[in-house]
Amino acid sequence: MAGFLQEIVEGLGAGAIYASLALALVLIYQFTGIVNFAQGELAMFSAYIAWQFMAAGLPFWLALVLTLAVSFVGGMLIERVVIRPVEGAPELTVVIVTVGLFIFVNAAAGWIWSFLIKDFPNPFPGGAIEAGGLSLGYSTLGIMAVVGVVMGLLYLLFQHTKVGLGMRAVASNPSSARLVGIRVGWTLALGWGLAATVGAVSGILVAPLLFLEPNMMGGVLIYAFAAATLGGFDSPVGAVVGGLVVGVAETLAGAYVGFIGSDLKVGVPLVIILFILLLRPQGLFGRAAVERA
């Protein structure tokens, strides 16, 4: 029994990582109405920037603040330079551009920092709380706390601010939003900047656990997509719940379902994506899109 509970705890730990990136995916979807395939790579790039600051001798927290700022500006720049030319093009075009961005950012990171793995300091202490045969790592707790805070902030932003209202308007209908006086361009840039910032948090949380290298987020991105699909692409709460469910499901399936084992574990998120899209396309917490007839 303790073993089972321990697997659940470990699954929640893995799920918190997926949730952190899923939050960035949800954020960019809310602002721009597209899924950004490059989100994981941008997070990885931000982690490298943080690593570079620390390699230059800055303390962790200062490096963190600087990285978040650089990521925000970087995200806005990407929107201006790369996404703006295809604004208004069909969604597929924009999505393809983000795939190109994925490849470019990955290669750029390899070119700048090489493909050798780097160690990344963990901001949380190394120990664990031991209780009743269970062990809960401080770093898992720390990640969950950070993810919880980010989720809360995003919820407030989406539901209780004018910016949030504006960006929902832009995502749902850019031309009408422009007619009522919302500055669509700036809203989109803001969305990319904020998503890059949330992604940077994710990258910095993930790097100490998975070791920093250019392909670090590739696997995480697949799980984050499953999390966002499960929870609903327009709900931060859904992204976090989705991430935790995916993490636990994957861990339990790997540990207890014989034929899945470690080999097929990576198939679990894909099965989840498929079934959610079939049964409840808007996700558990998402709102179904309504079209006026």
Partner 1 sequence: MRVSAIGCTAVTASLLVALAACGGREAAAPSTAASGSGSGECQGQQTTGITDTSIKLGGIYPLSGPASAYGDIPKGIKAYFDYINAEKNGIGGRKVEFVVRDDGYQPPKAVEEARRLVEQEQVFALFQTLGTPSTTATWDYTNQQKVPQVFVATGASKWGSDTAHPWTIGWQPNYISEARVYAQYLKQERPDAKVAVLYQNDDFGKDLLGGFKKAIEGSKITVAAEQSYEVSDPSVDPQMRNLAGSKADVLLNITTPKFGSQALAADAKNTSWNPLHIVNNVAASITVLKPVGFPNVQGVVSSTYYKDPNDPKWKDDPEMMLYYAKMKQYAPDADPTVPYHTFGWAVASSFHKAMEAAKCPTREGLRDAMRALQNVQVDMLLPGVTLNTAADDGFPIESMQLMKFQGERWELFGDVIDTRKEFGPLTN
- Write the DSSP symbol of residue 128: E
Alpha-carbon distance of 156 to 154, in angstroms, equals 5
Q: Interface with partner 1 includes 234 (CB under 8 A)?
A: no
Sequence-ordered list of residues with C-beta below 8 angstroms from that of 56, at least 6 positions apart, any chain: none
Q: Interface with partner 1 includes 4 (CB under 8 A)?
A: no
How many beta carbons lie within 10 A of that of residue 229, not counting itself? 29
* Nearest CA among 129, 178, 180 for reference residue 6: 129
Q: Interface with partner 1 includes 244 (CB under 8 A)?
A: no
Binding mask 38-77 for partner 1 (x = CB under 8 A): ----------------------------------------
Residue 99 Cβ, how far from partner 1 at the closest point, in Å?
A: 6
* Nearest CA among 211, 193, 217, 205 for reference residue 64: 205
Scanning 43-51, 197-205, 262-270, 280-288 for contacts with partner 1 by CB under 8 A, the matching segment is: 262-270
Nearer to partner 1, 266 or 271 (CB): 266
Among 214, 231, 236, 238, binds partner 1 (CB under 8 A): 214
The answer to whether 172 and 47 have CB atoms below 8 angstroms apart is: no
Alpha-carbon distance of 51 to 60, in angstroms, equals 9
Encoded tokens for 15: 């799920």
Among 8, 108, 222, 271, binds partner 1 (CB under 8 A): 222
Nearer to partner 1, 26 or 216 (CB): 216
Residue 111: HSE in the Cβ half-sphere, 13 Å Cα cutoff: 6
Nearer to partner 1, 182 or 220 (CB): 220
Binding mask 99-118 for partner 1 (x = CB under 8 A): x--x----x--x---xxxxx
* Nearest CA among 259, 203, 220 for reference residue 15: 220
Among 2, 69, 119, 275, binds partner 1 (CB under 8 A): 119
| Size (the chain), residues | 293
Q: Interface with partner 1 includes 219 (CB under 8 A)?
A: yes
Q: Interface with partner 1 includes 210 (CB under 8 A)?
A: yes
Encoded tokens for 135: 């062990």
Burial of 195 (0-12, 13-18, 19+ CB in 10 A): buried
Nearer to partner 1, 99 or 149 (CB): 99
* Nearest CA among 247, 203, 240 for reference residue 223: 247
Residue 213 Cβ, how far from partner 1 at the closest point, in Å?
A: 6
Give residues 7-26 in contact with partner 1 (rule: CB under 8 A): 7, 10, 14, 17
Residue 101 Cβ, how far from partner 1 at the closest point, in Å?
A: 12
Look up tokens 């602002």; give the residue: 31
Binding footprint of partner 1 on the chain (CB under 8 A): 3, 7, 10, 14, 17, 37, 99, 102, 107, 110, 114-119, 126, 209-211, 213-216, 218-223, 250-251, 254-255, 261-263, 265-266
